[in-house]
């Protein structure tokens, strides 16, 4: 642990999966000078109601830096509309009344429609303890199979491809700090300069190859920017593999000794010579060859994928194609080289390992595996036969609301803004008999709820998080929650008691939950059994898998992959079109993404004045000037962006570097500025990831009929 000053609390930023190390200092009249000295001039200390933040200089991931979101994070604690009292049908209520209404509603729905008529929707922002207890609550206290989480929108395609190739899924199977010694790093569909800026401190030395339809801030720093049409990343990856094989740039010894399936994968890439790839992607063949040679010529190289490659109806195959490229070059499992995926949400890694995903039990165990069910059931003290089977994935679960599912509990998510085809999601939520939302701000989803439960924020709670590099971290409490506010663990424990279960079986204490979590994950792919609060308090860097007595595993695959034979597996994948293509009525391709000053659905960051000032208060659409002119639009005009599913109103921003066939919208805004009113809920057949990154649209001036 770093040498924090007296009164400092060492913890981590509440936003992305970098989990930057921070030091929080309680503020007050006597601490004004300390607070003022700890934040940049652009962020007045007076705006921080309870604590001041500064980077932890000893935490290796952020190297003493924070992004604008991290610097302003304490403002979340005192936003004007912070939830401080339960609401029942919009009116203030006591906790006893609110929880009684929830429990009675859940029992009523199950008596009428069966156990699977109740559902739980979780989040990649929840601590490990909350994600674990949420999964246990759903499967034991509710007895429902219907649980999934918003991480399905984030990492599911990368997880599916990594599990198939390597036998295990950890976003980065190496520490972030390893990237700094690389010669070349290829980033496919990621924009860390805006989504996780401190990561760029580790990317100053390597030459970057960036694959993105937009010239993002990351692409602007690249030695080479490949700009494919949205939805053609898979074809581009196949073209890169073709060059590597055709020019004799593969690592034949590595392929022979450490992998299976190369010939089948190569047979699919055989037809993707550079000129053919250019016709499909729009990326010049000369740049394709240059990128392949840069990667192959580097002594130390990494390939990283982000949401731009993954959020497609073929996202699993797209990630698999980049894995194939990495395997052909012999990168995974070597010190100084590798393949990884840039996890987005704060606990996107831990959130998918510990049981809140529809098909998984804690430890990354399959819920369909009899041995896994027996192990977890023994820890929970229940009959394995009583555990439900796999449930619906997130998009399918939301689509079943008001039909097969009649009650929904939402923890830490805002699907009215974050889910694809958001207009349909709002309709389905409104059709429920009971909607309960646990949150600390009145999000757009909470506004629809029958019961809203006010819960503690990041600086007011204890727990653990797992970063994108698989390192388990302590979240420490710097403040006492406001009166009337409870933790999510306290909510789950109290609800379990009202449903007839022993509250002690659903502990409200994070250390107690973590001890049970250790036992439940023991022997699983994501084994936390050797990690403890005591070890974490010493500052020891612990990466899972970490069985009891283990020092942890900062670098996976150095000796073998996680398949029984120890080898990685190539995937025979081929390009296919996006689920929706342009037409005469909708001639443009829309892609969505994040901007520097906002985060996820914006429920938190849209409440921070400095961040709103930086990003703008309303949705915008980036358009090539020629494209805008053809639609009769000028820079700064208000426009409708229309798809077959819905319409989004946005301010036109000229962007000359954008492809003329493409427009870009950030997805952080709400109401008629929600980009997800447009997006396509078409699903990847393996990961069940929706196709956020490409849909057909047209532009019209506001007022056009």
Q: What is the pLDDT of residue 380?
A: 98
Q: What is the pLDDT of residue 344?
A: 84
Q: What is the pLDDT of residue 635?
A: 97
Domain boundary among 290, 307, 342: 342
CA distance 485 to 398: 28
Whether 86 is in a domain gets the answer no
DSSP codes, 111-173: HHH-GGGEEEEE-TTS-HHHHHHHHHIIIIII--S-EEEGGGGTTHHHHHHHHHHHSS--S-S
Q: Is residue 34's pLDDT more than 70?
A: no
Judging by DSSP bridges, how do beta strands 647-654 and 695-701 pair with one another?
Answer: unpaired
Claim to verify: residue 173 and residue 41 sit in the same structural domain? no
Quote the percentage of the chain above a pLDDT of 90: 94
Residue 369: how many CA atoms within 13 Å on its side-chain side?
Answer: 13
DSSP 52: E
Largest CA distance in the chain: 70
For residue 263, what is the domain's CATH number? 3.40.228.10
Q: Is residue 194's pLDDT more than 50?
A: yes
- Adjacent-strand bridge partners of 528: none
Pair 684, 313: CB distance under 8 Å:
yes
Per-residue model confidence as pLDDT tens digits over 59-112: 999 999 999 999 999 999 999 999 999 999 999 999 999 999 999 999 999 999
Pair 405, 393: CB distance under 8 Å:
no
Per-residue model confidence as pLDDT tens digits over 383-428: 999 999 999 999 999 999 999 999 999 999 999 999 999 999 999 9
The continuous run of DSSP H or E covering 648 comes out as: strand 647-654
Quote the percentage of the chain above a pLDDT of 70: 96
Claim to verify: residue 196 and residue 326 sit in the same structural domain? yes
For residue 73, what is the domain's CATH number? 2.20.25.90
Claim to verify: residue 609 and residue 692 sit in the same structural domain? yes
Work out the pLDDT band at 154, boundaries 50, 70, 90. Answer: confident
Claim to verify: residue 329 and residue 354 sit in the same structural domain? no
Pair 353, 362: CB distance under 8 Å:
yes
DSSP 395: H
Q: Return the closest-CA partner of residue 76 out of 481, 453, 683.
A: 481
Whether 579 is in a domain gets the answer no
* pTM given for the model: 0.94
Long-range contacts of 63-67 (CB under 8 A, 24+ apart): 63/198, 63/201, 63/202, 65/20, 65/197, 65/198, 65/201, 66/13, 66/20, 66/22, 66/198, 67/20, 67/196, 67/197, 67/198, 67/596
Domain boundary among 537, 555, 576: 537
CA distance 96 to 88: 11
Whether 326 is in a domain gets the answer yes
Work out the pLDDT band at 35, boundaries 50, 70, 90. Answer: very low
Claim to verify: residue 313 and residue 404 sit in the same structural domain? no
Pair 348, 171: CB distance under 8 Å:
yes
When pLDDT is averaged across residues 654-665 and rounded to a whole number, the result is 96
Is the four-CA dihedral 325, 330, 333, 334 of positive or negative sign?
Answer: negative
The SS3 call for residue 684 is: coil
Work out the pLDDT band at 367, boundaries 50, 70, 90. Answer: very high
**Cα 258 vs. chain centroid, distance in angstroms?**
30
Claim to verify: residue 478 and residue 500 sit in the same structural domain? yes
Question: φ, ψ for residue 411 (rounded to 5)?
Answer: -120, 115
CA distance 190 to 16: 13
Angle at 662 between CA 348 and CA 124, to 5 degrees: 10
Whether 197 is in a domain gets the answer yes
Work out the pLDDT band at 21, boundaries 50, 70, 90. Answer: very high
Is the four-CA dihedral 596, 597, 600, 601 of positive or negative sign?
Answer: negative
When pLDDT is averaged across residues 671-682 and rounded to a whole number, the result is 96
Work out the pLDDT band at 42, boundaries 50, 70, 90. Answer: very low
Work out the pLDDT band at 449, boundaries 50, 70, 90. Answer: very high
Q: Which two tokens stand for residue 683?
A: 């699903």
Q: Is residue 3's pLDDT more than 50?
A: no
C-alpha separations of 332 from 181, 315, 379 in Å: 16, 20, 35
Whether 552 is in a domain gets the answer no
**Residue range(s) defining the domain that contains residue 66:** 8-78
DSSP codes, 197-240: GGGGGGGSSSEEEEE-SS--HHHHT-SEEE-PPTT-HHHHHHHH
Per-residue model confidence as pLDDT tens digits over 529-552: 999 999 999 989 999 999 999 999
The answer to whether the peptide bond before residue 545 is cis (omega within 30 degrees of 0) is yes
Claim to verify: residue 291 and residue 364 sit in the same structural domain? no
Mean pLDDT score across all residues of the chain:
94
Per-residue model confidence as pLDDT tens digits over 494-519: 999 999 999 999 999 999 999 999 99
Count CB-CB contacts under 10 A for residue 119: 27
H helices present in 298-421, as ranges = 307-310, 315-328, 348-351, 370-380, 394-399, 415-418
Claim to verify: residue 47 and residue 104 sit in the same structural domain? no
Claim to verify: residue 338 and residue 356 sit in the same structural domain? no
Q: What is the pLDDT of residue 155?
A: 86
Q: Is residue 209's pLDDT more than 50?
A: yes
Q: What is the CA radius of gyration of the chain?
A: 24
Long-range contacts of 38-46 (CB under 8 A, 24+ apart): 39/71, 40/71, 42/610, 43/71, 43/72, 43/610
Pair 357, 393: CB distance under 8 Å:
no
Claim to verify: residue 355 and residue 328 sit in the same structural domain? no
- Adjacent-strand bridge partners of 652: 621
Q: CB under 8 Å to 681, separation ≥6 — which residues?
A: 395, 399, 419, 420, 421, 424, 690, 691
Whether 421 is in a domain gets the answer yes
Q: Is residue 345's pLDDT more than 50?
A: yes
Work out the pLDDT band at 379, boundaries 50, 70, 90. Answer: very high
Per-residue model confidence as pLDDT tens digits over 262-301: 999 999 999 999 999 999 999 999 999 999 999 999 999 9
Claim to verify: residue 43 and residue 109 sit in the same structural domain? no
When pLDDT is averaged across residues 197-218 and rounded to a whole number, the result is 97
Q: What is the pLDDT of residue 441?
A: 96
Claim to verify: residue 53 and residue 149 sit in the same structural domain? no
Q: In terms of C-beta density within 10 A (0-12 exposed, 13-18 middle, 19 or more buried), how is residue 33 classed?
A: exposed
Work out the pLDDT band at 28, boundaries 50, 70, 90. Answer: low
Pair 466, 130: CB distance under 8 Å:
no
CA distance 664 to 466: 31
For residue 601, what is the domain's CATH number? 2.40.40.20
Work out the pLDDT band at 343, boundaries 50, 70, 90. Answer: confident
Domain boundary among 519, 537, 555: 537
Count how many domains the chain has: 4
Whether 558 is in a domain gets the answer no
Per-residue model confidence as pLDDT tens digits over 553-569: 999 999 999 999 999 99
Whether 566 is in a domain gets the answer no
For residue 480, what is the domain's CATH number? 3.40.50.740
């Amino acid at each position: 642990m770093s040498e924090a000053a007296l009164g400092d609390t060492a913890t981590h930023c509440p936003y992305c999966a970098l989990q930057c190390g921070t030091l929080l200092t309680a503020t007050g009249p006597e601490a004004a000078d300390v607070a003022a000295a700890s934040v940049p001039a652009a962020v007045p200390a007076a705006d921080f109601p309870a604590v001041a933040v500064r980077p932890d200089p000893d935490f290796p991931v952020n190297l003493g830096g924070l992004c604008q979101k991290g610097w302003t994070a304490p403002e979340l604690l005192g936003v004007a509309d912070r939830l401080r009292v339960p609401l029942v049908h919009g009116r203030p209520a006591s906790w006893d009344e609110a929880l009684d209404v929830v429990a009675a509603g859940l029992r009523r729905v199950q008596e009428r429609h069966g156990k699977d008529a109740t559902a739980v929707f979780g989040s990649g922002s929840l601590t490990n303890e909350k994600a674990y207890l949420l999964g246990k609550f759903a499967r034991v206290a509710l007895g429902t199979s219907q649980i999934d989480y918003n991480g399905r929108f984030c990492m599911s395609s990368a997880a599916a491809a990594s599990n198939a190739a390597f036998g295990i899924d950890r976003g980065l199977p190496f520490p972030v700090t390893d990237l700094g010694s690389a010669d070349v790093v290829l980033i496919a569909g990621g924009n860390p300069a805006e989504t996780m800026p401190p990561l760029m401190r580790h990317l100053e030395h390597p030459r970057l190859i960036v694959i993105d339809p937009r010239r993002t801030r990351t692409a602007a720093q690249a030695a080479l920017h490949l700009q494919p049409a949205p939805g053609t990343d898979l074809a581009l990856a196949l073209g890169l593999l073709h060059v590597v094989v055709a020019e004799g740039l593969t690592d034949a010894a590595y392929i022979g000794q450490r992998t299976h399936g190369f010939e089948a994968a190569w047979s699919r890439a055989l037809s993707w010579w550079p000129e053919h790839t250019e016709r499909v992607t729009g990326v010049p063949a000369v740049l394709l060859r240059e990128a392949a040679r840069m990667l192959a010529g580097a002594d130390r190289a990494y390939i990283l994928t982000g949401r731009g490659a993954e959020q497609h109806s073929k996202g699993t195959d797209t990630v698999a194609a980049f894995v194939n490229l990495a395997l052909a070059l012999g990168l995974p499992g070597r010190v100084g080289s590798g393949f990884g995926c840039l996890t987005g949400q704060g606990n996107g890694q831990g959130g998918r390992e510990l049981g809140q995903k529809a098909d998984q039990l804690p430890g990354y165990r399959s819920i369909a595996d009899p041995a896994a069910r027996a192990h977890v059931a023994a820890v929970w003290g229940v009959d394995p036969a009583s555990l439900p089977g796999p449930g619906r994935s997130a998009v399918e679960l939301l689509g079943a609301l008001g039909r097969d599912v009649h009650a929904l509990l939402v923890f830490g998510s805002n699907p009215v803004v974050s889910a694809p085809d958001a207009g349909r999601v709002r309709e389905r939520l409104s059709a429920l008999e009971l909607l309960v939302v646990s949150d600390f701000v009145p999000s757009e989803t909470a506004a629809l709820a029958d019961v809203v439960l006010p819960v503690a924020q990041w600086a007011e709670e204890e727990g653990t998080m797992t970063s994108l590099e698989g390192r388990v971290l302590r979240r420490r409490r710097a403040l006492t929650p406001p009166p009337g506010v409870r933790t999510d663990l306290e909510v789950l424990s109290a609800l379990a008691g009202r449903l007839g279960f022993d509250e002690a079986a659903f502990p409200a204490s994070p250390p107690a939950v973590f001890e049970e979590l250790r036992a439940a994950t023991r022997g699983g792919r994501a084994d936390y059994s050797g990690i403890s609060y005591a070890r974490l308090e010493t500052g020891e860097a612990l990466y899972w898998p970490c069985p009891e007595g283990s020092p942890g595993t900062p670098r996976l695959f150095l000796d073998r992959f996680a398949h029984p034979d120890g080898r990685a597996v190539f995937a025979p994948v081929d390009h296919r079109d996006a689920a929706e293509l342009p037409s005469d009525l909708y001639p443009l391709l829309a892609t969505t993404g994040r901007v520097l000053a906002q985060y996820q659905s914006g429920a938190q960051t849209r409440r921070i004045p400095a961040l709103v000032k930086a990003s703008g208060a309303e949705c915008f659409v980036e358009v090539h000037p020629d494209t805008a002119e053809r639609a009769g639009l000028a820079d700064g005009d208000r426009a409708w962006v229309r798809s077959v599913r819905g319409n989004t109103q946005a301010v036109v921003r000229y962007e000359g570097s954008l492809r003329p066939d493409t427009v870009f919208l950030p997805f952080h805004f709400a109401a008629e500025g929600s980009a997800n009113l447009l997006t396509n809920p078409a699903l990847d057949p393996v990961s069940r990831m929706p196709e956020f990154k490409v849909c057909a649209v047209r532009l019209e001036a506001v007022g056009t009929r």
